Structure 1
Amino acid sequence: MKSYITTPIYYVNGSPHIGHAFTSVMADILKRNREALGYELMLSTGVDEHGQKNQEAAADLDMSVEEFLDMRGKEFRDVFDRLGIAYDYFVRTSREGHKTAVAGMEQSIFDKGLIVKKQYTGTYCKGCEEFKKESDLTEEGQCPLHPTMKVEQTDETNYFLKMEPYREKLLQHIADNPDFVQPEAFRNELKQMLAEPLEDLCISRPKTRVTLGVDLPFDPEFVTYVWFDALANYLTNIDWPQEGYEAWWAECEHLIGKDILKPHGVYWPIMLMAAGLPLPKKLSVHSHWVGAGGVKMSKSIGNVVDPIEVIEKLGVDALRWYLARNMRADSDSQISVDLITQSYNSELGNKIGNLLSRAAKFSKARFDGTVPAPGALSAEDEAIRKSVLEATSAMGDWINLADIPARMQSIITVADEMNNYFAEQAPWDLIKNEETRERCETVIYVTLDCLRVVMEALTQVIPTSAEKALRMLNAPEIARPWRPELDKLQGNGELGEIETLFPRVQ
């Protein structure tokens, strides 16, 4: 059983931002979830090194293109490593094997007569690196994704891929495969994009304008359009066109932001059809992050969230938790350092970390550094144990991107119930009398064993903290495939070193 998850490859003309962090962290959560189920996983992320914007960014810094690409590639990789993203393949489109494969794909499509050379006059957005129709622009004539960047009127000769011959076939594929685009709102948006005849797609840029890219194999005066080159990474990462890529490709899921639905939902499937290749299994689409109060993030307002700044202030799992907990599938979500701090203190700190600290320290102090063995279970014990199994069971099932926030909500809800159980049972009172000592032992065991189940589930989301908690509990190794199971803590077993899992941050 295989699962191949991809993130977009990120333009290196700027530093990594919260959008890059989000998609790659979600991909990592899905990877950890599927590994917990016993799947063999491939996760790719990385950088798109070609195109006009990257070429100009290198020039602006007065660096050679090679130096610039090395510097930026390392910067992205370092951020992803700090975010705890267990990627299997880090993409760099400057890799020779990738460039050779892209040229091969273009040549095969050209040989079928599907690529034509023609003069084109149109409106060009440098931010998107693509030509725009009038209907794509705002009333002011600007690109809605790059409103501060002036669009340019361009008149030049280029090569174009014929798109219209494949439009109906793509619509049929969407109809036959309702899971192809998730959630449904974005599937409907894609169908809308395909409702009218498609213009040919410009797949080249003249070298007089852009030199950073893959040479067109049939005309060395041109380089490949950056999207055509970038999208092919999903195949070249798994060694296409060599044999053996098919098993991974059949299980490929692209994670993308809503702003790049058109390249992934229209250009890419038609490129693949033109090349005679099967389509990916699924596009999982997410919305965007905006600042507190729903204000678009911008450096001038000062509401940009820098992932590294958050990690340094609160630790990596505070950021991972907030991202997993708060993105809604088909509407934009708010983020700020204050909101992340509140979520970290109130949910991770007060509800999960505090309960672990109280129960484990009590157990260590009162039961000679061990987890006490439980006695007979009461109705209250059985009720909380059932709640914990129900709340975590979904983490033992296949998770889709849009499911993640609801899964986190279940865990926080049951953490509240566990805190109520602990407060109502009041082990600090039970320990005072010999006749209620055994009851105290049972309450402590039930609490710590329930925490173990929750922490095992959370290894998929906040692995650093969850694994630290499991070491404190001296919990047994997590079984694969994972399902939540009770009574795995060893009664009278030693506890590890107890430390504060989520120290409070002002």
Structure 2
Amino acid sequence: MKSYITTPIYYVNGSPHIGHAFTSVMADILKRNRQALGCDVMLSTGVDEHGQKNQEAAAELGMGYQEFLDMRGKEFRSVFDLVGISYDYFVRTSREGHKQAVAGMEQTIFDKDLIVKKNYTGTYCKGCEEFKKESDLTEDGQCPLHPTMQVEQTEETNYFLKMEPFRERLLQHIADNPDFVQPEAFRNELKQMLAEPLEDLCISRPKSRVTLGVDLPFDPDFVTYVWFDALTNYLTNIDWPEDGYQSWWAECEHLIGKDILKPHGVYWPIMLMAAGLPLPKKLSVHSHWVGAGGVKMSKSIGNVVDPIEVVEKLGVDALRWYLARHMRADSDSQISVELITQTYNSELGNKIGNLLSRVAKFSNKNFGGKVPAPGPLSAEDEALRKSVVEAASGFSRWIDLQDIPARTQAIVTLAEEMNEYIDKQAPWTLFKSEDTRERCQTVIYVTLDCLRVIMEALQQVIPGSADKALAMLNAPAAPRPWTPVLDRLEGNGDLGEIESLFPRVQ
């Protein structure tokens, strides 16, 4: 079975931020989950190099376009590598093959008389790089997504894609495919966007205003509207229009933030319908990150979270863990370096890392560097083992974007139960007497083997730390497709080198 996961491609007019890291980390978690289930997976992420914003950003830095795009592409790539994104394809829309395919799609649609040229007067938001209706703006006449940026009244001649002929068909597709947009709140929002007749979509920009883009194949005085160009990457990454893309496209899932639901939920499906192409399988939508106390992040307030800074201070898995644990699909979530630090210390450090460290060190010291062989299991042992299989089995099933917080929460709850178990069983006391030494061995074995199962599950979320923990336990390679199997640690088998997995950070 195949799974093709995409993130949006990110504008390069600014440096990578926590929102970029978040969507790409979630995509990476989904990829690792599908791989653990035995799927053939492809993950694409990357950068959108065209449009007015990128053109102006290059000019502000006094750089040539290619030099600017190379610099920014490298910067995004290095951040994604830093946070452990195992992408298969890094998108750059300046790639010649992509540009040719975009022009090909436009020509196909133009030849069907679905693109018209006309003069247009409207309100333009440079931040969104799109024209706005009055109903899209706030009471003050500003774009809600870019309140600090003045909208402009613009009059110019452009090319437009006819949208209204496809509206009813798109609504029918949403009705026939309830999983097309998840979660439901955003599916309802999309239906609301399609409730009224649609205006034609402007798909060009005159070269007098924007030159950084794909030339229109039927009029060299214009470049392609940046969204039309960018959205097509999802197809060009898998070699469309060449044959062979179909099997990946049939299993395509777009991960997006709620601010770009309209381009992905309205423009993109209609572009595809106009070109005679099938729609993607799913749009998985998430909300945004805000600063502590629910305050919007801003450089002037100083509450912006820099992924590089977090990784340097706490390590990559502290960031990945927080993003996975505290993301909420249909409401904004709070983030700050302090909140990430607290979660790292309390959950990864105290509940999971500390348990592994104390039990592995105890076993290393008292059983000659080995995992002790267990004796008969008690009811408490069996109860814990049952809990471990239940909690970890969430990672042996298909995970959707909105499932991630609950699946990670289940591991935290399990770690709390394991800590209670070890405190109650008190193996350090059992070890002191010859009569209870076998019971001590069983408790240590059960705990270490259960930790192995947890770490195999967490290879999907915090792979670096999980791999380190499994090396400490000298665990055999996890089975594929993965399922939580008990008793895979070898009794009397050697332990690996014990190190502190999540050292406390002040």
Q: TM-score, normalised by structure 2?
A: 1.00
Partner of 1:178: 178
Partner secondary structure for residue 230 of structure 1 = helix
Aligned to 1:37: 37
Cα distance in 1, alignment partners of residues 233 and 492 from structure 2: 53
- The answer for the alignment partner of 1:15 in structure 2 is 15
For the residues of structure 2 that align with 1:441 and 1:408, how far apart are their CA atoms?
29
Per the alignment, residue 107 of structure 1 pairs with 107
User: Residue in 2 aligned with 1:218?
Assistant: 218
Distance (whole Å) between structure 1 residues aligned to residue 242 and residue 327 of structure 2: 38
TM alignment of 1:7-86, pairs within 5 A = 7-86=7-86
Alpha-carbon distance between aligned partners in 2 of 1:21 and 1:394, rounded to the nearest angstrom: 24
CA distance in 1 between counterparts of 2:480 and 2:386 reads 22
Compute the displacement of 1:419 (Å).
0.3
Distance 2:62 2:322 in 1: 38
1:502 aligns with 2:488: no
Residues 461-492 of structure 1 deviation map (CA, whole Å, 9 limit, x = unaligned): 00000000000000000110000010000000
Aligned counterparts of 1:221 and 1:491: Cα–Cα separation in 2: 74
Q: Provide the residue aligned with 2:440 in structure 1.
A: 440
Aligned residue for 2:47, secondary structure, equals strand
CA offsets per residue over residues 356-408 of structure 1, 9 Å max, x none? 00000000000000000000000000000000000111100000000000001
Root-mean-square deviation (Å): 0.2
Secondary structure of the 1:457 match is helix
TM score, norm. by length of structure 1 = 1.00
The runs of 5 or more residues in structure 1 that have no matched partner are none
How many residue pairs match? The answer is 506
Instruction: Please name the residue that 1:316 is paired with.
Output: 316
2-structure distance, mates of 1:146, 1:124: 12
Q: CA deviation at 1:290?
A: 0.2
Equivalence for 2:285: 285
Deviations 1:99-157 (A, max 9, x none): 00000000000000000000000000000000000000001100000000000000000
Rounded to whole Å, the distance in 2 between the matches of 1:489 and 1:392 is: 16
Equivalence map 1:117-132=2 (5 Å): 117-132=117-132
Q: Give how far 1:44 is off.
A: 0.1
- Give 3-state SS (helix, strand or coil) of 1:363's partner: helix
Aligned to 2:396: 396
AA partner of residue 97 (structure 1): G
Task: Give the secondary-structure state (helix, strand or coil) at the position aligned to 2:118.
Answer: strand
Structure 1: which amino acid aligns with 2:166? Y
Q: Deviations over 1:64-112 (max 9, x none)?
A: 0000000000000000000000000000000000000000000000000
Residue 415 of structure 2 is matched in structure 1 by 415
**Whole-Å separation in 1 of the counterparts to 2:134 and 2:4:** 37
Counterpart CA distance in 2 for 1:176 and 1:399 is 22
Match of 1:227 in 2: 227
The equivalent of 1:357 in structure 2 is 357
- Residue in structure 2 matched with residue 334 of structure 1 by the alignment: 334
The CA distance in 1 between the partners of 2:492 and 2:77, in whole Å, is: 44
| Other-structure match for 1:272 | 272
Q: How far apart are 1:329 and its partner, in Å?
A: 1.0
Q: Which aligned segments of 4 or more residues in structure 1 are displaced greater than 3 angstroms? A: none
Alpha-carbon distance in 1 for matches of 2:147, 2:277: 36
Q: Once the 2 structures are TM-superposed, how far is the Cα of residue 196 of structure 1 from its aligned partner?
A: 0.1
Distance 1:467 1:423 in 2: 26
Task: Show the counterpart of 1:371.
Answer: 371
C-alpha separation in 1, matches of 2:66 and 2:393? 48
SS at match of 1:244: coil
Quote the Cα distance in structure 2 between the aligned partners of 1:43 and 1:487: 34
Q: Give secondary structure in 2 for the equivalent of 1:311.
A: helix
Q: Could you tell me the percent identity over the aligned residues?
A: 85
2:477 is paired with a residue whose SS is: coil
Q: Which residue pairs with 2:159 in the alignment? A: 159
Which amino acid counterpart does residue 354 of structure 1 have in structure 2?
A: N
CA displacement at 1:294 relative to structure 2: 0.2
